Every structure is written in structure tokens, then in C-alpha cells.
Amino acid sequence: MAAMVAGALRRGSGYGSGGFRCSLRLLAQSLRRFASTLVVAEHEGGFVKPSSLSALAAAEAIAKENKISVLLGGSGPALHKAADHAASSHPLVSEVLLADSEALAHPLAEPWAELLHSVQQKGGYSHVIASSTSFGKNLLPRAAALLDVSPVTDVTAIKEPRIFVRPIYAGNALCTVKYTGEDPCMMSVRSTSFSPNTEAMSETKVAPITQVDLSFLSEGKSKWVNLTSQDTERPDLANARAVVTGGRGLKSAENFKLLEQLAEKLGAAVGATRAAVDAGYVPNDLQVGQTGKIVAPELYMAFGVSGAIQHLAGMRDSKVIVAVNKDADAPIFQVADYGLVADLFEVLDELLKKIPDKK
């Protein structure tokens, strides 16, 4: 039942024997014909979140003729607006399933898992995809347990409809896994590895929106208490085009304000290492790394970050990495495109003076 580890491979190495490849091809061909995927989408402000648009791109990677259903839940006008967005978000979307209930307005895994279980029972999808966000990571194992299947997590590439690549050892090796269980094949996908199909979004057909019958939803054992978040104009860390990250080298919460100023000027998000979070300089939703957020922006600037393997796991796929550290032997320089051995406070001071304010 469980996903079988077919090989733990270094990046770019080969896979399997000739006979095995042939039977996989046959399996892949038949799956390609019958693939139908349910994408669990998250939304905000009346739009499907970029991470869920990436999940749609992953669904397309499973099969070009994939029939995709998008599941959206919550309540209020923003949900309906997001459903309209989902309906025209990808040419392969054949249906949007709208679950309108207060019980689903918050990211509680219990009611959502019940919902997913019920929708899968009715739809009989071959694949169920969620993005590897806090919500997706919370929901998927619970729903998979209800469906008695084993999920494949953190997928970064889809080789065949049931053969996936995912990182192991904090991203130091890539593992090719074959899912051998029953339908549905449930997986969480890393949004940094699947680019949304923006071209298709502008000229696509509009899929029908169907209300889901929610009479089965039970009174859950968990209750939403509240959400504490900071109001900020800065972009969301997980989807920002530029990220400015501080480590323990920043030395205080007060000094992190310098990074915030730089982020304002660059239109960037602020990130942090776990050491900086543990020291109380910034809240933990800014943590980048193995146990934090996975990011892959166009520009990643690291100040006073040593470059521990667990931190690299969350940012090494960034397009351009700039590191400032006073220790020339800091491991961050091994992944940096541009490295500056210098005191970060002097560098920040100069950058803040030279970079104009964002209009």
C-alpha cells in the first residue's frame, strides 16, 4: 500500500531496468488515458492562491488529458469569487466543487479531511493533489488515513503518473518513488517546482461550478480559536520574487528592522533562520528551511546566515543567492552566486543609503 522507495538517487541520475521501464510505460499510458485529478485549492481575497495554481500545473504534469476538478471550501463572497477564478484558472479544469460552510472557513484538518474523503468517494479520482503548505501538510495525511492510502509528500517532479521525485536528507538527495497503492494517489507538491500556467489562464474556457452536499459534516473535536498575524504590505514569503533573510548574525529584534527597511525598498519579503526565530528576533512564520517555508525567489539575500543544511533545504533553489557573512568559510558561500565577506551592518547601512525608496 505504501509508496515504495524505488531508488535514492543523486540529482540527475538514471532509473530502473529495461523490462521495468517497459511495464511502467504501459501503466503510464493507461493512467494517462484515465487520469482524473482532484486539486485541493486554497484561496485568499477572492483568488486561488499561487501555491494552488502550482498544484494545477502539477496536475497537468500527470497527464496532458487530465480531467481536473478543483475543490474550494470556506464561506462568504470571497469563496464564490475564488470559485470563479478557479473555473477559468487552467484549461484542464473541468469542474469546480464548491463547499460552502462556516465549518470549512478555517484551515482545520478535521472537517476538511471529512470533506475530502466524501468528495473522493463520490468522484473516484485517480489522483488528489494539495500544495505543500501548512494547510496541505496538515490535511493530506488525515484525509489519506480516512481513505486508507499512503500519501506521497513534497513532490518536486512528476516522471510518470505514479512515479515522482521528492527530496530527502534535507534536500541533499532526490528520491524517486513509485506509488503502488490503490486510488487515489494522494500527494503534496512543492509550489516552487511547478510554475503556474499563466499563458493558459488568460484565454481559457470557464468550467462549471457545482455545490458540494455537506450534510455529512459532523461537529468536529477541534475548534478554531483565532488567527494572529501582522498587517504588512510586503509580499507573502512563500511566493515573493525577492527575499531578504537574516540569521543569528543580526543579533537582535531591533536590528531586524534594518532588514525590513531593505525589504521595503526592494519590494521583498523578510525571512529568517531558525536560530533567529528561536532567539526571538522574529516570529516563526518567517522561518525558511527544512522545518520552515520552502522558497525559490528570483533573488535571495542572506545576512548573517551560516548556511546550515536545514536552512539550505528551504532556499537552495532560489535563482540568484547573495550572501553577506564575516566568516569566509561559512557554508552559505558554497551555494551563493554572489558572496561578500564583510560585516553585515556596514553592508546594510550602505545598501539602505544607496537603494532609493520604492515608489
Ligand X SMILES: Cc1cc2nc3c(=O)[nH]c(=O)nc-3n(C[C@H](O)[C@H](O)[C@H](O)COP(=O)(O)OP(=O)(O)OC[C@H]3O[C@@H](n4cnc5c(N)ncnc54)[C@H](O)[C@@H]3O)c2cc1C
Return residues touching ligand X (CB under 6 A): 247-249, 273-276, 287-292, 304-306, 308, 310-311, 314, 324-327, 330, 343-345
Q: Which residue, 197 or 310, has its beta carbon nearer to ligand X?
A: 310
Widest distance between CA atoms in the chain: 63
CB of 288 to ligand X, least distance (A): 6
| Residue 311 annotated as lining a ligand binding site | yes
Q: Which residue, 98 or 324, has its beta carbon nearer to ligand X?
A: 324
Q: Which residue, 87 or 308, has its beta carbon nearer to ligand X?
A: 308
CB of 287 to ligand X, least distance (A): 5
CB of 293 to ligand X, least distance (A): 8
CB of 309 to ligand X, least distance (A): 7
| Residue 304 annotated as lining a ligand binding site | yes
Cα(112)–Cα(105) distance, integer angstroms: 10
Name the phi and psi angles at 297, rounded to 5.
-75, 170
CB of 136 to ligand X, least distance (A): 17
Q: Which residue, 161 or 247, has its beta carbon nearer to ligand X?
A: 247
| Residue 21 annotated as lining a ligand binding site | no
Cα(302)–Cα(250) distance, integer angstroms: 11
Task: Return the residue nearest ligand X (CB atom).
Answer: 289
Cα(331)–Cα(345) distance, integer angstroms: 20
| Residue 325 annotated as lining a ligand binding site | yes
Q: Single out the residue of 180, 150, 129, 166 nearest to residue 23, CA to CA.
A: 180
Q: Which residue, 305 or 351, has its beta carbon nearer to ligand X?
A: 305
CB of 141 to ligand X, least distance (A): 19
Tell me the three cell numbers of residue 218: 459532523
CB of 257 to ligand X, least distance (A): 16
Q: Which residue, 240 or 324, has its beta carbon nearer to ligand X?
A: 324
Q: Which residue, 178 or 311, has its beta carbon nearer to ligand X?
A: 311
Binding positions for FAD: 248, 273-274, 287-291, 304-311, 325
Binding positions: 248, 273-274, 287-291, 304-311, 325
